[in-house]
Every structure is written in C-alpha cells, then in structure tokens.
Structure 1
Amino acid sequence: MTKIDRRILRSRESIKNAVIELMSEKKFDDITIRDISDRANVNRGTIYLHYADKYDLLDKIIEEHIGNLRELCHSASDMTFQEGNYVWFDYFAANHLFFSTMLNTKSAAYFRSRFLDLVVQEYRVEVDVNEGKNRGLSEDIILQFFGAAVVGAVEWWFKHDMPIPARTIAEQTGLLLDRNL
C-alpha cells in the first residue's frame, strides 16, 4: 500500500472540515468551490485535484463516515447492543460537527437515508421472526421501526446539543434494543 504524503492528507482534511463548517452556516447549494477553498486555505485547483466537484466531496465525506460506522459495527459484533452503542456514540461525539450538520440541515436528507440504510443492514442479523417475541412479525417492519428509532434518537441528541453524555444515550438505547430485538 502506497503511503500518502502528509501534505495531501492535511489538504484533504482541511477541505473536508471546510465544507462541513460551511454547511453548518448556509445551504449546501449556496456553497461554492471558492468558499471551500477560502475556508480551507487551499487553491481551488487543489480541491479539483482530489474531488470532481462539491457533490463528489460531500459524497466522499459521507462514504467515509458510513464506512467507519460499518467497521465499528463489525468490531462490536460480539457485544450487546448497549456495549456496541458505546462505540457508536463515542464516534458520534468525536465527530460532532459532521453528524450535527448532516442530521440538522434540510440539505442532508441523503445522509439520513444512508445512515438509516446502514442501521437497518447492521440490525438485520439480529432479527429473528421465526421464534421468540418477534415470531410472525414482518422483518422489514421490525427493521424499519428500530432503525428509525435509532436514527431519530441520534438526531434528537444532536439537535439538542448532546444534552446527555454519549455513554448515557448509548446505554439507554442499547438497553431498549436488547429488550426488543
């Protein structure tokens, strides 16, 4: 695997941070490449060197976070929902600006949809409709119900400026999932 130059990594991080900061201030459609380059303190050409346009940039940022969440799910696969939620909510808190921006702006519906798809996909292995308390219920309804609940709880947490510690919301949502799935 080829090692990427630190300057390139710094430029990419600066560009990604700039677009997220700008999205927290104004609509994504109103953000220009010039705005991003000014905020990131890079030339416009540097942005185009790494990304086709601002949509490609946002898509790559979203993919990076979805991928990181997926990896966290896989690393926590032998944990209870409560323990696994600690890992997720620690990640959410560490990436507060991204998640609060993505879940609090109207222009971020695409991210919410991707996040819900991830949650549903990861919980699919936990749902058993052949026996136990979920016997005879629709797997799709169960997954959409709990996926929407998890995404809604995360949205609420960010919209209210994380009023309770990450560990507390992780514990409580995890307990609810453990009781019901």
Structure 2
Amino acid sequence: MPKVDRRILKTQEALKTAILELMTEKSFDDITIQDLSDRANVSRGTIYLHYMDKYDLLDKLIQTHIEELRVRCAAAADLDFVTGSVIWTEYFESNYAFFSTMLASKGAPFFRTRFLEFLIEEFQDEVDNAQGKNEGLNKDLVVQFVASSYVGVVEWWFTNERPVTHIVLAEQLGGLLERICE
C-alpha cells in the first residue's frame, strides 16, 4: 500500500474539521466552497483536488465513520450486547464533534438515514424470529424497530448533550438489545 503524503492527510483533516464546524453554525445547504476554503485555510482549488464538491467531502467523512463502526461491529461479534455497546459508545464519545453535528443538527439528515441503513444491515443476524420472544413476528419489522430505536436513543443522547455517561448508555442499550434479540 503506497504511503500517503502527510500534507494531503493534513489538508483533508482540515477540510473535515471545517465542514463540521461550519455545520454547527449554519445549514449544510448554506455552506459554500468559499466558506470551506476560508475555514480550512486552503485554496478553493485545493478542495477540488481532494473532493468533487462539498457533498463528496461530507459523504467521504460519513463513510469513514460508518466503516469504523463496521470494523467495531466485527470486533464485537462474539461479545454480549452490553460489552459490544461499550465499544460503540466509546467511539461515539471519542468522536463527539462528528456524531453530535450529524445527529443533533438538522443539517445532515442523510447521515441519519445512512446510520439507520447500516444498523438495519448489522441487526439482521441478531434478530431471531424463529423462536423465543420474537416467534411469530415479522423479522424485517423487528429489525426496523431495533435499528430505529437504537438511532433514536443515540440521537437523544447527543441532542441532550450526553445526559448519562457513555458507559451507562452502553449498559442500557445492551440490556434492551438482549431483551429483544436473545
């Protein structure tokens, strides 16, 4: 794998930080390339060397976080729901700026949709409708319920500026998932 130039990484990081900061100040639709250029202290041309437009920048930023959550899901595959949830909530906590901006602001509804789609995919194997508590229930309905609930709780946590610690959040979410998925 070729080594990436540190200047490129630094520029991309500056642009990712700039878009998050700007999204806390104004709607994503109102952010211009000039705003990004000014905030990241790079030329407009530099932005276009890395991204097609602001939508491409945001899409790549979202994709990075979704991929990291996917990696963490794989790492937690053999763990119980509470321990697995701790892995996720630690990531939410350490990336507070991103998640709070994406979930607590109205500026990026497409992140919420992507997050929900990701969770639906991840919960497919967790929901057992053949036996136990979910017997007789439509699996797609149960998966939609679990994923939507999870997004809603995480969104509530960020919107309310983390009213409980990420550990308490994980324990509560994990306990609820155990009730539904086991």
State whether TM-score is above 0.5.
yes
Q: How does 1:52-131 map to 2 (within 5 A)?
A: 52-131=52-131
- Give 3-state SS (helix, strand or coil) of 1:125's partner: coil
Query: How does 1:130-145 map onto structure 2 within 5 Å?
Result: 130-145=130-145
Which residue is 2:18 aligned to?
A: 18
Q: Which residue pairs with 1:34 in the alignment?
A: 34
Deviation at 1:75, TM superposition (A): 0.9
Post-superposition Cα deviations, 1:49-89, rounded to whole Å, max 9, x if no partner, equal 00000011111111111111111101110011111110111
Unpaired segments ≥5 residues, structure 1: none
Quick one: distance in 2 between partners of 1:107 and 1:5?
31
Instruction: State the superposition RMSD in angstroms.
Output: 0.8
Give a deviation string over 1:8-44, Cα, whole Å, max 9, x none: 1111001001001100110011111111111111111
Q: Is the contact between residue 130 and residue 136 of structure 2 (CA under 8 Å) also seen in structure 1?
A: yes
> What stretches of structure 1 move > 3 A for 4+ residues in a row?
none
* In 1, Cα distance between equivalents of 2:80 and 2:166: 16
**What is the TM-score of this pair, normalised by structure 1?**
0.97
Q: Give CA deviations for 1:104-152 in whole Å, capped at 9, x if unaligned.
A: 2223111101101111111110111111111110001101111111100
Which stretches in structure 2 are left out of the alignment for 5+ residues? Answer: none
Q: For residue 46 of structure 2, what is the aligned residue in structure 1?
A: 46
Q: Secondary structure at the match of 2:124?
A: helix
Tell me the matched-pair count. 181
Match of 2:159 in 1: 159
Q: State the TM-score, normalized to the length of structure 2.
A: 0.97
